[in-house]
Chain A
Amino acid sequence: MSSVVLKRHSVLPGFGLTVGYTLLYLSLIVLLPLSTLAFKSSSLGFDAFWTTVSSARVVASYKLTFGASLAAATINAFFGLIVAWVLARYTFPGRRLVDAIVDLPFALPTAVAGIALTTLYSENGWLGAPLARMGVKVAFTPLGITLALTFIGLPFVVRTLQPVIDELDPELEEAAASLGASRAQTLFRVVLPALLPAWLTGFALAFARCLGEYGSVVFIAGNMPMRTEITPLLIITKLEQYDYPGATAIAVVMLVASFVLLLGINLLQSWSGRRLAA
């Protein structure tokens, strides 16, 4: 490795300007609000902070939020891969329409999604009623929360994978086949390893989105303490009770946990992507 070069001649100069802007922008938009979060919660003192963030109700909400988000991101990782593959590799009538539908969860107000899902899946809804007869309750259970989060996270996986699949040369699959690899071997040894970095990125984005999701979940969750209460809702509840330090304390825990998880996924992703750099 050569030593770090900060500045070099280029056609488009402006290293100082752009980096300065980047730092200022990140400070104002991201770091400043987050530091006030930490600052505000510190007014509690350590004991009160710990009591707040480790109370049974709050811990139950962490478990639910992280668990449901993980489940939703995992579901999206698989189905998003299939959707992205179909959109990138095949042409069929209505492909553009399907392509546009994928973006809907981005654009739709999350509350609208939440109400729609609740109506569909409540015990007298179109899908909820037959499911209830089979003994499956969706609305007002963790399953419903996972469903809402799956809806929200889908485009992240699809939109991250799609361009990478577009770039993936079909010749790679032909080469594998000419060397005698079966379809499964081609998929698992050639295609998926090549998609892995983008796949992890998509998973991380969907997961991060789910952790913070509020609007679509609160309607379908039912918000029963200890059972279907997500952490972002708890924060709102505390805010409504003017317990600002309590709300920020929980927020800080969420923030740190999310950051550690995302950092881990990013490291994993850069490890798997390093070898692919062309």
Chain B
Amino acid sequence: MSIEARNVTKRFGSFVAVDDVSLVFPGGELTALLGPSGSGKTSLLRIIAGLERADAGQVLFEGEDATGRDVRQRGVGFVFQHYALFRHMTVFDNIAFGLRVRPRARRPGAPEIRAKVMDLLKLVQLDWLANRYPSELSGGQRQRVALARALAVEPKLLLLDEPFGSLDAKVRLELRRWLRRLHDEIKLTSVFVTHDQEEALEVSDRVVVMNKGHVEQVGSPQEVFDQPKTSFVMNFLGQVNAVKGGYVRPHEFELARSADAPEGSWAEVRHIHMAGAVVKLELVDEAKNVLLVEMSRDRADALAPRVGERLFAWPRRLRSFEAATV
């Protein structure tokens, strides 16, 4: 199901959380709403879900106005950052909840509910935990139960609010790859909110970068990373060096022992971080600016930089933005 937000505005007192945002989420895609805290991404998600009312603007589901539709009638699966599992119910009862609260005419019988819940538990690979209580599960397991619970009502749209936000680093990584695979399997229109650019770039089909209630850029992960439209997007999507004439990403710097480029400057090596596949260097140029440079292990081995040494640094690629405001 495709979703459209038209001129949506949301204020909290004098703070404008979402400022006249218009967006289209194509059906079947996994979209990331990416931005720093206070950028309005969660408010926008909650307005789409019907958990929050927009002060102005419309929300359309499949071209149909759903602005005034109650959250109960929207057919939206919502996954909360802190899972919001019902603690007094077992995992099974949590997932069955959405089916059991249906009006009698549409409520499946107990055997169908059972079959459906067990299918979902298999889908999230937790069928062995059906009779546990949420307090007995790990964070990653809880989030998968929350996802299964949201999917149980067969929503036309899945919304996830910082779904990996309260998990530790390793579980985060596993779970987001798993979410990507799951999405490829079930092809449900999904929107997830995150402040982690790596997560957004890795998981989603499309990224919506938000800042201060506005949409800065919409595009595929590669588009927003390689062709950022604004200095904000450039800065938010990765490490950036601000140099004379524009911005350079650390991996787009070239280092050499001789000045063989027109642009560039001499800089002294301060630190070398050799651990990992990518070698990270910190240099200080003549204007006392710190330059962050990344290069492959092979290139670093060939160059063999030493701390204290002076090297010539020039950008292979320099981006500048009109009316740049950092």
A-side interface residues toward B, CB under 8 Å? Answer: 169, 171-172, 174-182, 185, 189-190, 193-194, 196, 272, 275-278
Contact = CB atoms under 8 A, between A and B. Distances in A.
Contacts, number: 75
Contacts of B77: 178
A190 B133 CA distance: 15
B78 A275 contact: no
Interface of B: 49-51, 70-72, 74, 76-78, 80, 82, 84-88, 97-98, 101-102, 133, 135, 149-150, 152-153
B51 A174 contact: yes
B88 A175 contact: no
Contacts of B152: 179
A107 B324 CA distance: 64
A64 B12 CA distance: 54
B82 A182 contact: no
Contact of B88 (A169, A178, A275): A275
Nearest to A196: B88
A178 B51 contact: yes
For A169, A178, A185, A189, the residue with the greatest tally of chain B CB atoms inside 10 Å of its CB is A178
Contacts of B97: 176, 179, 181, 189
Given A171-B80, A185-B101, A178 B71 contact: yes
A190 B82 contact: no
A277 B88 CA distance: 9
Contacts of B149: 175, 179
Contacts of B133: 275
B80 A181 contact: no
A175 B72 contact: no
B135 A189 contact: no
A194 B87 contact: yes
Contacts of B76: 178
Contact of B84 (A171, A181, A275, A276): A171
Contact of A180 (B51, B86, B98): B98
B101 A179 contact: yes
A278 B133 CA distance: 9
A161 B49 CA distance: 30
Contact of A277 (B72, B135, B150): B135
Given A174-B80, A175-B84, A177-B72, 18 more contacts: A171-B84, A174-B78, A176-B97, A178-B50, A178-B51, A178-B72, A178-B150, A179-B98, A179-B101, A179-B149, A179-B152, A179-B153, A180-B98, A181-B72, A182-B72, A182-B101, A272-B88, A275-B135
A277 B149 CA distance: 21
Nearest to B52: A174
6 contacts: A175-B78, A176-B101, A178-B72, A179-B97, A179-B149, A278-B135
B101 A172 contact: no
Contacts of A179: 97-98, 101, 149-150, 152-153
Contact of B102 (A171, A172, A180): A180
A276 to B, nearest CB: 5
Contacts of A172: 84, 86
Contacts of A180: 72, 98, 101-102, 153
A174 B46 CA distance: 10
A272 to B, nearest CB: 8
Contact of B87 (A174, A185, A275): A275
Contacts of B150: 178-179
B84 A177 contact: no
Given A174-B51, A175-B80, A278-B135, A181 B101 contact: yes
B101 A174 contact: no
A171 B72 contact: no
B87 A178 contact: no
A70 B23 CA distance: 59
B88 A174 contact: no
A278 B87 contact: yes
B49 A178 contact: yes
A181 B153 CA distance: 11
A171 B135 contact: no
Contacts of A175: 78, 80, 84-86, 149
Contacts of A276: 87-88, 135
A175 B153 CA distance: 12
A167 to B, nearest CB: 11
**Max chain A C-beta neighbours (<10 A), residue from B77, B88, B153:** B88
